[in-house]
Structure 1
Amino acid sequence: MIRDDIKAAQIAAMKAGDKETRATISLIQSAIKNRDIEARSGGAPADDDTLVIEVLQKMVKQRRESIEMYRKGDREELAVAEEAEVAVIERFLPAQMSEEETKAAIEAIKVELGASSMKDMGRVMAELKARHASELDMSKASGLVKSSLA
């Protein structure tokens, strides 16, 4: 389980005296704990790894947006710090599909659903998310689906 990997990485970072990695892993664990609390009131996903992956993907997305803003604001030192956090977080995410693999998956789903126009984008995106959510950046995939249906 990914939670176990995160815990082991935190212990290793503490033993190695790696303060930056330890701090990032603490942020990860805090975000996961918050998501667990939210899930108590709603229905928790059947697969714990799915929940953890969602949290990690959200954290990466937030940091990438921050990096972009820092660079626009000419704050390179903050952008570098965020990039270091992204690198730590991505260690726990499953391997992401390449752009070519993503396009192939989109084409397969389009053929399967008989999708041919922008009206079908929602159906294609829903199926893509159901099959490959943990392996894809859905915002990038959205652009690829849009271009393939246009």
Structure 2
Amino acid sequence: MDMRTRVNTALKQAMKDKAAQRLSTLRLINAAIKDKDIASRGGNDESTGVGDDEVLAILDKMTKQRRESARAYEEGGRLDLAERELQEIGVIEEFLPKQLDDDEVEDAVRAAVAKTGAGSIRDMGKVMGELKSRYTGQMDFGKVGPMVKDQLCAGGGQGC
């Protein structure tokens, strides 16, 4: 079942269950997907919309936004709003693949460096592109970037 169908099925179930918070979050997910559909169309009405990889990227971005908001709310003493953001993260993460642990991320970085033949910091874009194509939604690329840089610099690459 594709991501769009999974979200719509969950949305219908939330309506039946009268789960207001869950329903609200699922509607936000649907709206974000539809916005991306419209943006990717670019005047071409025959487009079928975004694929699962792009939906995963949307969900990943939504999760990051909510984590930042929750942190800001906690710092501001608004624990009620922080809790709501964390609940939304829980709903969104149901549709994301299992997150890789630190060891798996390190292995993935090593494999991507080897596959792309990266030898210097200038090849970081190639490595990140490879990781994003294979592990979208499974790792935090903000944390992976420094790991890739360390891996490339460990080999004595230029620009480190």
**TM, length-normalised to structure 1:** 0.88
Matching of residue 71 in structure 1 with residue 71 in structure 2: no
Q: Which stretch of structure 1 is more off in the superposition, 36-45 or 126-135?
A: 36-45
- Offset of 1:54 from its aligned partner? 1.6
Matched, 1:102 2:121: no
Per-residue Cα deviation, 1:38-65 (whole angstroms, up to 9, x for no partner): 0101897997211211211111111111
2:124 aligned residue = 121
Residues 110, 124 of structure 1: 8 Å contact kept: yes
Q: Which amino acid aligns with 2:146?
A: G
Aligned partners of 2:31, 2:49: CA distance in 1, in Å?
Answer: 21
SS of aligned partner of 1:124: helix
Matches of 1:113 and 1:16, distance apart in 2: 48
Match of 1:18 in 2: 19
Larger Rg computed on CA atoms: 2
Query: How many Å separate the matches in 1 of 2:23 and 2:49?
Result: 29
Kindly provide the CA deviation profile for residues 105-139 of structure 1, in whole angstroms up to 9, marking residues without a partner as x: 11112223343443332221122112222422211
Structure 1 consecutive aligned stretches of length 4 or more whose deviation exceeds 6 Å: 42-47
Distance across 1 between alignment mates of 2:53 and 2:142? 18
What secondary structure is seen at the aligned counterpart in 2 of 1:135? coil
More helix per residue: 1 or 2? 1
Q: Match for 1:2: what amino acid?
A: M
CA RMSD of aligned residues (A): 2.2
Equivalences for residues 16-55 of structure 1 within 5 A: 16-41=17-42, 48-55=51-58
Give, in whole Å, the separation in 1 of the partners of 2:43 and 2:138: 24
> SS at 1:95's partner residue?
coil
Does residue 80 of structure 2 align to residue 111 of structure 1?
no
CA gap of 1:147–1:70, structure 2 versus 1, over 3 A, is farther
Which stretch of structure 1 is more off in the superposition, 135-144 or 80-89?
Answer: 135-144
Q: Which moved more, 1:109-118 or 1:139-148?
A: 109-118
Counterpart contact for 1:56–1:89, Cα < 8 Å: yes
Q: TM-score, normalised by structure 2?
A: 0.83
Residue-pair matches, total: 150
Unaligned runs of 5+ in 1: none
